[in-house]
């Protein structure tokens, strides 16, 4: 499997990933003065807010409409979220509804690079003529602070996969080999475009 050339660029970095555990703790507990806030702090905080909003939404949804409806909502959000974004990328590249492992790798790398330091842990996807593979140790949709909400991460991601398949007629399936919501130490997902290893 190969990666795109930009994956080998040693100058690529992600603001916020460089923050120490102590600096992240300070941001999370608001134990920081405005004069100390850097770009790394801001990017980390904005990314963390995405994760917090995600978790808060599902916790509230479950308490208001029950678990079954909250899971359905998570799935439908994922379907729209994944499918819409990927369809835009395919359109920009003139592919219509016919993607490929390389197009999926480009999409995965782009979205993982623009949604914060925790999401950037998924960089970089690899691909060959049959599949695109993404591996990561962290996931912005899974919270270590609320592992019981992993069921919503799963429902959301399954919805994303349905959305990808609706946007890309060449995509056969998505295989989840490992995932944080299952208790694994990291995630590994395969977007399969042709049968065989």
Residue 71 located in a structural domain: yes
pLDDT, residue 94, reads: 97
> Among 104-108, 109-113, 161-165, which stretch is predicted with the lowest mean pLDDT?
109-113
Give me the number of domains the chain comprises: 1
pLDDT in tens, 74-93: 999 999 988 899 999 999 99
The yes-or-no verdict on residue 100 having pLDDT over 90 is: yes
pLDDT, residue 26, reads: 94
Mean pLDDT of 156-169: 95
Decide: 113 and 134 in contact? Cβ < 8 Å. Answer: no
Report the range out of 7-11, 115-119, 167-171 with the highest average pLDDT: 167-171
Residue 9 located in a structural domain: no
Here the tokens at position 50 are 């995405």
pLDDT, residue 164, reads: 95
Pick 140 or 158 by higher pLDDT: 158
Q: Measured between alpha carbons, how far is 154 from 94 in angstroms, rounded to an integer?
A: 31
pLDDT, residue 107, reads: 94
Between β-strands 173-178 and 187-192, what pairing exists: parallel, antiparallel or unpaired? antiparallel
Q: How far apart are the first and last CA of the chain?
A: 11
Here the tokens at position 26 are 């300070």
The yes-or-no verdict on residue 122 having pLDDT over 80 is: no
Mean pLDDT of 60-67: 95
Task: Note down the domain range covering 62.
Answer: 15-192
Residue 7 located in a structural domain: no
Residue 186 located in a structural domain: yes
Residue 90 located in a structural domain: yes
Residue 49 located in a structural domain: yes
Residue 6 located in a structural domain: no
pLDDT, residue 10, reads: 64
pLDDT, residue 12, reads: 66
Domain harbouring 106, CATH code: 3.30.1380
> Which of 55, 57, 52 shows the shortest CA–CA distance to 27?
52
Mean pLDDT of 155-182: 94
Give the full edge-to-edge strand order of the sheet including 187-192: 126-127, 131-136, 187-192, 173-178
Q: Please, which pLDDT band fits residue 13 given cuts at 50, 70 and 90?
A: low
Residue-by-residue DSSP string for the chain: -B--GGGG-TT---TTTT--HHHHHHHHTT-S-GGG--HHHHHHHHHHHHHHHHHHHHHHHHHHH-HHHHHHHHHHHHHHHHHHHHHHHHHHTT-TT---HHHHHHHHHHHHHHS-TTGGGG---EE-SSEEEEEES--TT--TT-GGGHHHHHHHHHHHHHHHHHH-TT--EEEEEE-GGGT-SSEEEEEESSS--
pLDDT, residue 87, reads: 96
Residue 1 located in a structural domain: no
Q: Please, which pLDDT band fits residue 11 given cuts at 50, 70 and 90?
A: low
């Amino acid at each position: 499997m190969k990666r795109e050339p930009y994956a080998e660029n040693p100058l690529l970095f992600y603001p916020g990933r460089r923050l120490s555990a102590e600096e992240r703790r300070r941001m999370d507990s608001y134990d920081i003065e405005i004069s100390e806030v850097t770009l790394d702090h801001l990017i980390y905080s904005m990314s963390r807010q995405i994760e917090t909003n995600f978790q808060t939404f599902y916790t509230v949804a479950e308490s208001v409409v029950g678990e079954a409806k909250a899971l359905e909502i998570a799935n439908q959000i994922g379907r729209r979220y994944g499918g819409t974004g990927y369809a835009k990328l395919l359109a920009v590249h003139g592919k219509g509804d016919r993607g490929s492992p390389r197009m999926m790798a480009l999409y995965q790398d782009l979205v993982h690079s623009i949604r914060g330091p925790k999401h950037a842990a998924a960089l970089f996807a690899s691909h060959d003529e049959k599949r695109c593979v993404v591996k990561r140790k962290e996931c912005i949709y899974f919270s270590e602070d609320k592992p019981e909400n992993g069921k919503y991460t799963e429902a959301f991601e399954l919805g994303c996969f349905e959305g990808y398949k609706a946007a890309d007629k060449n995509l056969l399936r998505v295989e989840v080999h490992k995932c944080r919501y299952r208790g694994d130490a990291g995630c590994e997902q395969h977007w399969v475009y042709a049968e065989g290893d």
